[in-house]
Structure formats: C-alpha cells, structure tokens
Structure 1
Amino acid sequence: MTYEFDKDFWERHWQEGRAGGSGSMGGNPPNPYLARETSGLTPGTALDAGCGGGAEAIWLASHGWHVTAADISSEALARAAERAATSGASERLQWVEADLRLWNPGDRFDLVMTHYAHPAMPQLEFYDRIAGWVAPGGTLLIVGHLHTPESTGHGHQHPAEASATAATVTARLDGTEWEIVTAEEPRRTLTGHGGRAVPLHDVVVRATRRR
C-alpha cells in the first residue's frame, strides 16, 4: 500500500505507536550518524526538520546546541516534549508544529538536519528547501532511508518521489556553494518487536555551506 505523507498520516502513525507501546516510536536512541557527523562542530543554533519523537533534537540540546525542532504531527511533538522533560536540556529546545512544505523559520541556522522525514512533497525538493535555511559556514545533515525493492522492515511502500540516493542529493548541492563532507549509503540493523532484526539501508549526506 502506498501512503500520502500528510498530517493525517503522521498523526495516525504516532497515535498507533503510542497505543501499541512501540519502542521505535520515539523511544529509540538517536541515530548513530548524528554523533559522528557533528562531533567536530561547535554547538550553536540548529533546526531539526521533521523531528518526530525528538531523539536527535534532544541529543543535540544535551550537547549544548539550541535546537528548533519542527514536525507536522502534534502527537509526535507531545511525545518529544515528554521525553525532553527528563533530559535536563529542555531549556535549549523549542518545539514547533509546522507543515514543512509551507513553513519558513524566518532565520538561518548553524546546523540544519533531517532524519528519515517524509513530508507530502518530493523528497529532493524537501532537501532543497531545508538547505536554504543553513547559514553561511553552517552544516546540512541529511539522513534518509534508501528505499529499494529488497528493503524490508518499513511496513509500507514508498512512492518513487519519496526516495533519494546519496548521488541524487549531492547533485542538487552546487559545488560553488557547498562542500560535500560525507556522501554514503551505509547498512545497519535495528532490533524490532520480539527481537526481530530489521535491516536498514540508509543515505547519509553532510555538506558545509561555503562562506
């Protein structure tokens, strides 16, 4: 079944996760690429576009960043705020309910990141949009699922426009404006319900906006 990634879809997604007590619904640690890709950066302002359950935003805030975390789902943001309340970093977090197709933060950030976000627009156009919110000298970090016919574990079919590869992402970043630091498609395995191994094929792109 193919889904439209609109507000109704994401509200149901998070409500069903809460009802089912799903550990993957905002309970997981931040993805492993975040610490690796930001370890050399000086904490400043950050935007998490499509923050979901808030794991990555909270991790950044706990490491000194001032984070604006935006998501279309009020349910996801409620989960994230609950989790942040016990993190000791809530004063460095701002939660914003926003449709990322239309919303404009009105500012630029030292770091703009997105992790597995699927708005109701073509994926590459979404990445173009958030790239415009990176300040000169700042960092863009994109982490996504590489959706291939052999991919498993997602439970639904993604439309073609929801997919992107490292090559298609970096091709959108003008070399006169961006320095590509990371462009890879790593594989890893998560532990799902009942201890089931869930293979993931990811896309990780990090780029620095030239001053």
Structure 2
Amino acid sequence: MTMPQVPDDATAESYWEPIYLERATPAEAVPSNSDLLAAEVAGLQPGRALDLGCAEGGDVIWLAQQGWDVLGVDVSSTALAKGAEHAEVAGVSDRTRWEQHDLSATFPDGEFDLVSAQFLHTPVAGDSQRTTILRQAMRAVAPGGRLMVMSHTGWPTWMTESPHEVDFATPEELLASVGLPREGWTVVRNERVPRDFPGPEGQPGTRDDAVLHVRRDEAV
C-alpha cells in the first residue's frame, strides 16, 4: 500500500479513507491474516473477539473461520464496507460485525475473550494515542481473556529512506503502553521476532516485529 504524505490538519479518518477508496480490492480476494496472530490463537477456545484497526477484515474473517464471533473496528467506512463484502464471500457474515471508530476518540462497548491489535501503525497518531488505545484495549478483555498486540519495530532492512514518520515500539515499550496491573494478569509472550521481509522488487531483507500476548486471570 502506498502511503501518502500527512497534511498538517490530517485526522485518522481523513488520512485513511482516501487510501481505501483508491484500493481496488475485489470482494473475492480475502486479505491474508497475520501469521503471528494465528500462532498465538492456536489452541484457544473460540469466543468473542475484537479486532482493532481491522482494515479490510483479513484477521476478522480468519478468526470467524476458526469459530470466533468477531467485531471488526476501523476508522475508514470504506475499509469496513469492503470487509463486510469479504465476509459475505467467505461465508462468515453471521459471525462478523463491523463498527467505525477513531480509537483515539471512541471505543467499542463490551468485554471480549480476545482483543487483537495487529500492526496498528499510523503516521497520524503518535505514542500518546497508541498508549490510550492499548490501555482501553486491555480494559476490554474479559476475565480469562487475552490481549494480543503485534507491531513492527522498524522499517525493513532494504528500505534506505523512511517514507513517513511512524512511532515504532519495542516489546518493552508495548508492555509499558498497556499499563498492565501488578496482579490479575500474566504475560504469556513479550519478545522481538526477526522475520524475512523481501522488498517489492524481490530484494532480500528482514524486519523485526514485536509480539505481546497477555492473559487476564479468571474471575474469582
């Protein structure tokens, strides 16, 4: 996806909506899910899931296919409409819902057995907004549920010039952003994962990702 420059007066919605309007993704082309999320979800009992910054719904659809009832949230109404189309084609529209939110301003109601934030990067929102969003995400986790946050820690090695500013976080910074209480939670995984990441012209490269997976204790 080509990322445009950020105007000084840009909001999350004014920035992302034109990007999805210009993307010509056919309804039959269900976006691929995050393989990091798939590895963390493996073996869990499906329940209610919330996917933050769901874009065109790749993870929403994949989770629904695994038996989860999923609410997908994004700031772009066009991305959400495309996600609903993808879910219809994939045969999981009965397990998916979609809500538009600028997560720095509003957040979906309810508690969830899984709250997922996959590569929630934006050149519009900085560290303070990410912290606000992730702390709200943690509060949305039901007893016994999980919060899973995956994030790039930097640009790919083949990229010689940054196309725009993004606040990348280390695993330690992600954990600090969540503001995990001293009691009632367990850190299942919090680490940096090096990955192969070839460039658009096939040039070799790598990119490190941060994986944070925390579990809320069951209610006593």
Maintained 8 Å contact 2:31/2:57: no
1:199, distance to aligned residue in structure 2 (A): 3.7
CA contact (8 A) 1:153 1:199 kept: no
Matches within 5 A, 1:39-188: 39-118=42-121, 120-121=125-126, 122=128, 123-147=130-154, 152=159, 156-159=163-166, 162-171=167-176, 172-188=179-195
Which residue of structure 1 aligns with residue 34 of structure 2? 31
Q: How many residues align?
A: 204
Between 1:147-156 and 1:29-38, the stretch displaced more is 147-156
Shift in alpha-carbon separation, 1:154–1:209, aligned structure 2, 3 A: farther
Q: Deviations over 1:21-49 (max 9, x none)?
A: 69xxx854111111110112110000001
Shift of 1:102: 2.2
* 8 Å CA contact 1:192, 1:198 repeated in 2: yes
Residues 28 and 55 in structure 1, CA contact (< 8 A), matched pair in contact too: yes
TM normalised by structure 1 equals 0.84
Q: Deviation of residue 109 (structure 1)?
A: 0.5
C-alpha deviation, 1:131, in angstroms: 1.0
- Residue 8 of structure 1 aligns to a residue whose secondary structure is helix
Q: Secondary structure of 2:23's partner?
A: helix
Percent identical: 32
1:205 counterpart = 2:212? yes
Give me the CA root mean square deviation.
Answer: 2.7
Higher Rg: 2
Rounded to whole Å, the distance in 1 between the matches of 2:182 and 2:100 is: 33
Which consecutive aligned stretches of 4+ in structure 1 deviate over 6 angstroms post-superposition? Answer: none
Q: What are the superposed Cα offsets for residues 98-126 of structure 1, whole Å, 9 maximum, x if unpaired?
A: 11122232211000001112363532332
Q: Under a length normalisation based on structure 2, what TM-score does the superposition of the two structures give?
A: 0.81
The verdict on how the C-alpha distance between 1:118 and 1:149 changes in structure 2, with shifts beyond 3 A counting, is closer
Gapped regions of structure 1 (runs ≥ 5): none
Q: Does structure 1 retain, via aligned residues, the 8 Å contact 2:150–2:211?
A: yes
